[in-house]
Structures are given as structure tokens and as C-alpha cells.
Amino acid sequence: MDKKIRILGIETSCDETAVAIVDSDKNILANELYSQVAEHEEFKGVVPEIAARLHMGKLEGLIETAFKKARLSLVDIDAIAVTAGPGLIGGLIVGLTYAKAMAFSLGKPLIAINHLEAHALTARLTNNIEFPYLLCLVSGGHTQIIDIAEFGRYKILGSTLDDAIGEAFDKVAKMLNLEYPGGPQIEKLAAFGKYSIKFPVPLINQKNCNFSLSGLKTAVRNYITKNKHITKEDVCSSFQHTILHVIQNRLLHAFEIFDQKYGNIHEKTLVVAGGVAANKFLKSNLTGFASSHGYNTIFPPAKLCTDNAAMVAWLGVEKFKKSEFADLKVAPKSKWSLEEV
């Protein structure tokens, strides 16, 4: 039997300072997170300098708490996995430097993690799935469909040409004077509304997997400004239905590509991840849609789909098994495509 491996994961690429310890049996022994949302709120976006300073201030405490919760001491971990990119360079430097110092002083290997690859493989931590599978990543920052061919080999089938889907939810919510983040608010109101407004479905005639949300956003804005008496519930329901059609239409092409490439593998899996995947209307409809095309659908828990360090530690486990260690000289990369890992 293989020895159980325990990995410490550190994530500081954006505005969440996160630390986790995960073992090779898929146990999440600790998963600590400090969200900096409140500190960036007044600036209406993440301020890189503030983010880096907060990572510096919070990291040590989170690491101490993680070891306490896992009932482990520093010597019990097998390696330190840390996000080395892509992300805000200041934050990456803080996390990577901390991890390097720990690896050097403990005499443990360092593992450099691509943040997007960590998102892409989270479903292997939460479920027992094999390669290949399709990943539909829908969040506030990303909207992509990716062919997760095998470990280390990923092909982006399509991306958004403008806004991310979560961003579109947030912007429409703002037009309706709903609270931020808008996704959950729109979902709530939509439950009481009718799908009565036919907004355009962007790119519907294009045979590819790209997304475009800006036209839909403008259509919603025009509807709101042109009509004096609107029912917010109906706008939310109609917008949400349109988003469903957009995703289904793009997935249709992804299924075609995947089916053609892999023929009839006996189990076809679609993983839907990212903040928007928390939407129950989308979840139930996409599950039914994928099933009618022969795909099982997995929605990893929201807590592991949004930025966290458990995904970083888990990719650390996968890389440890393949002895993919980093040199202490490894540099952070603010840009680092999933296709280049």
C-alpha cells in the first residue's frame, strides 16, 4: 500500500488568503480562508498593493490555525504546494516566498501550482473521476470550456470574448438595484418571475465554444430603460433562462468535439465549476441537458469551486505522486495559461 501523503497548500494569487492541508486519501484536514472582500469594497475592485499587504499579515496565522485544526505539526507534511501563477504579482511573491522559506527550513519539497489547473482538477478531489472529462468553468472572472484530456494536458475549447457569466449576473443585478454579488439575488427573484422577455442568445449561430455576454447585457439595459413599468422578477427569470440557453448552446459544440475526439468512452463526465455553478436553476437544467447527451454532471461544492487552498493542496498531492517538484529558484508568473503547464 502506498504511504499516505499530506500536502500543505498556500493560495495568495488574488484577494483570498488561503491555507489548507489535504491528504492522498482525499481528506481535507484543514481549509482556512481569509477573504479580503471588505477591504477592497470601497475601491470597487481588488487593489493589488492592499491585497499583497493583507496576504503578508494573514498568512502566518492561517498556517498556524490549519496545523492546529489538522492536529499536525510542521514535520508531518510531505511537501508545500503554492500557487505560482497566474495572478497579481505582489500576492504571488508573498505566498511563494513564504512557501520557499518553509520548504528550505523544513527540508521538504516545494511544488509550484498553476491556479487554473488547481480549479480544473478540484473535481478529482471531491469525486472519483478519471481523465478525460469536460470542464465548464463559470465564475465572476472566468467563463471557459476546457477539455481535461489527461494530467498536465488541457485544451481550452472556448472562452468568453468579453464579460464572464458571473460578471453579467452582477451587472444585470446592479441595473435592477440588487445587492452585490448579484447572482444569488437574481436567482431568488427569478423563482417568482416568468420567462416572458425574449432576450437574444449571443453567438447562437456560431459553431464554436466561445461566449459573449456584452450584447445580452445591453439588451437587458435597453429593456429596463425603454419600459417604465418592469417586473424585476420577470427580468431575472428571462435573463436566467437566456443564460441557460447560452451555456447549453455552447456545450452542444463542446460535446460534439469531445465525442469526436474520444469516441465512445464508457463514462462521459461534465464538471461545472465556479461561483455561478451554485445556481440551482442552472444546476438542475444543465444536469438534465447533459444527461440527454450521455454525460454525467458533477458540481463540486461551491466552497471548493471558488478560490481556496484545498484545491492547491490537492494538485500538490497529484504532482507529488509524479515527483513534479519545483526548484527553490522558481519565479512567480502573473500570466500562465492552462495550456502551458
Question: Which residues are at the interface with Zn ion (CB under 5 A)?
Answer: 307
Binding segment for ligand KG4 (CB under 6 A), chosen from 176-184, 190-198, 199-207, 292-300, is 176-184
Tell whether residue 56 is a contact of ligand KG4 (CB under 6 A): no
Q: Starting at the edge strand that comes first in sequence, how are the strands of the sheet with 133-138 ordered?
A: 153-159, 143-150, 133-138, 268-273, 295-298
| From ligand KG4, Zn ion, none, interface partner of 169 (C-beta below 5 to 8 A by class) | ligand KG4
| From Zn ion, ligand KG4, none, interface partner of 48 (C-beta below 5 to 8 A by class) | none
Cα separation, 66 vs 72, in Å, equals 9
* Dihedral angle computed from the Cα positions of residues 201, 306, 322 and 326, in that order, rounded to the nearest 10 degrees: 110
Which of 91, 95, 132, 140 lies at the binding interface for ligand KG4 (CB under 6 A)?
140
Shortest Å, Cβ 156 to Zn ion:
15
Tell whether residue 202 is a contact of ligand KG4 (CB under 6 A): no
Instruction: Write phi, then psi, for 266 (nearest 5 degrees).
Output: -70, -25
Tell whether residue 275 is a contact of ligand KG4 (CB under 6 A): yes
Q: Which is nearer to ligand KG4, 103 or 173 (CB)?
A: 173
Tell whether residue 144 is a contact of ligand KG4 (CB under 6 A): no
Tell whether residue 236 is a contact of ligand KG4 (CB under 6 A): no
The string of DSSP codes covering 302-334 is HHHHSS-SHHHHHHHHHHHHTT--B-TTPPP-S
Q: Containing H/E element for 54? A: helix 48-70
Shortest Å, Cβ 95 to Zn ion:
14
Cα separation, 112 vs 23, in Å, equals 17
Count of positions on this chain that bind ligand KG4 (CB under 6 A): 18
Q: Which is nearer to ligand KG4, 237 or 306 (CB)?
A: 306
Shortest Å, Cβ 311 to Zn ion:
9
* End-to-end C-alpha distance for the chain, whole angstroms: 30
| From ligand KG4, Zn ion, none, interface partner of 16 (C-beta below 5 to 8 A by class) | none
Q: Strand 79-85 relative to strand 153-159: parallel, antiparallel, unpaired?
A: unpaired
Select from 50, 80, 42, 78 the least CA-distant residue to 63.
80
Check: CB of residue 249 under 8 Å from CB of residue 201. Answer: yes
Q: Which is nearer to Zn ion, 143 or 237 (CB)?
A: 143
Binding segment for ligand KG4 (CB under 6 A), chosen from 17-25, 250-258, 273-281, 293-301, is 273-281
Tell whether residue 276 is a contact of ligand KG4 (CB under 6 A): yes
- Close Cβ partners of 285 (under 8 Å, ≥ 6 residues apart): 244, 248
- Per the DSSP assignment, residues forming a β-bridge with 6 are 23
Q: Which is nearer to ligand KG4, 132 or 242 (CB)?
A: 242
Tell whether residue 86 is a contact of ligand KG4 (CB under 6 A): no
Tell whether residue 78 is a contact of ligand KG4 (CB under 6 A): no
* Sign of the CA dihedral running 331, 335, 338, 339: negative
Tell whether residue 181 is a contact of ligand KG4 (CB under 6 A): yes
Shortest Å, Cβ 163 to ligand KG4:
10
Which of 90, 91, 109, 274 lies at the binding interface for ligand KG4 (CB under 6 A)?
274
- Give SS3 for 124: helix
Contacts to ligand KG4 from residues 6-45, by CB under 6 A: none
Check: CB of residue 324 under 8 Å from CB of residue 113. Answer: no
Shortest Å, Cβ 119 to Zn ion:
6
Cα separation, 107 vs 272, in Å, equals 38
Contacts to ligand KG4 from residues 280-309, by CB under 6 A: 306
Contacts with ligand KG4 by CB under 6 A lie at 139-141, 166-167, 169-170, 181-184, 187, 274-276, 278-279, 306
